[in-house]
Chains A and B, each alone.
Chain A
């Protein structure tokens, strides 16, 4: 297949269209604007709809409408815009509408800045909007994965009738790497439940309202059952040189790339270091963590946040192994050097197999 040099933000749009996406409603925001721009260029050419909405609030509600009408649809934004979209995401989860949302994160809270950060983890992975729902979350760490996980996101969104978020940082969105696309485009198909303005679909209703407590409870339980199945089937993580590793570095997105470089150097120094990279942040790859915990001495979570994924790692390990944490925020990236230094320190420590959790926050 043809390898092409392409920005992650462009790869998302091309992959989406090849996956049958025919609607994009968005609002520009750095560092996600290239996605909106590419959508504006390509969607009208393939018989799709592109519309720059008046706000992120309107954009997500347009996704609600397009998804209700049976179209594979997506949007893209960054932290502040995702905050505004939470209303619609909750409605879509409640009404069981599929859609794909690309969150190309930036620094927060508030306006923060436009540099890459991973502070959207909580609002994206834990829900963000009101009510008992989850979004499925995929975290690409390369341009190829921007394409591949976007395609997967559309399939998961349809399979689970639920919003799926592609959570990437500004680096993954802005950088260019070779990428390959499937040559056959997916044919857009109209789901049976859609409200399409036809005789067959006239009886259909898209709504998140369940007035009676018993009915709402049944609905919430049914959503839970769906998420349970997703947990069983869809959790993914990449293990990188974890064979024989005593120290396992944990990170997603651009951080995972840095961790691989650090691990490569540490391995060359004879240190027993590997990388575990969650690919799905919800469902979280809990099993992979638990399996590794059987033979690994210590986990090191590295995040461009104040410890948001850290909570999930701790929940997954449930005290089985110590968890160290290195954090950079504000748009700063954990440097190769500072991670390597921590790894060297930990690898040289001769810790007993099961000692109580001890935390080291490496603010630099």
Chain B
């Protein structure tokens, strides 16, 4: 994976503990790459989950999500990996799918 052009521009993470499964992000997502999980989470909600590919990083799912940190949207950088603190921070603050 050395060619950035082949990768998605965006990447989505949904915190499975924080998500309440309202589905607004699924409705809002322009490329329709968010789905509802079949199984219930620890609190009894069916939560949203990233389909795994196709995210453009537009961020609209983040804005329509009523929970402060349930959704984190990342964008592809053109820079070499591991250079920015924000990546580490983002990863820390947001449980991956």
A–B in direct contact per CB < 8 Å:
no
A residues near B, CB below 8 A?
none
B residues near A, CB below 8 A?
none
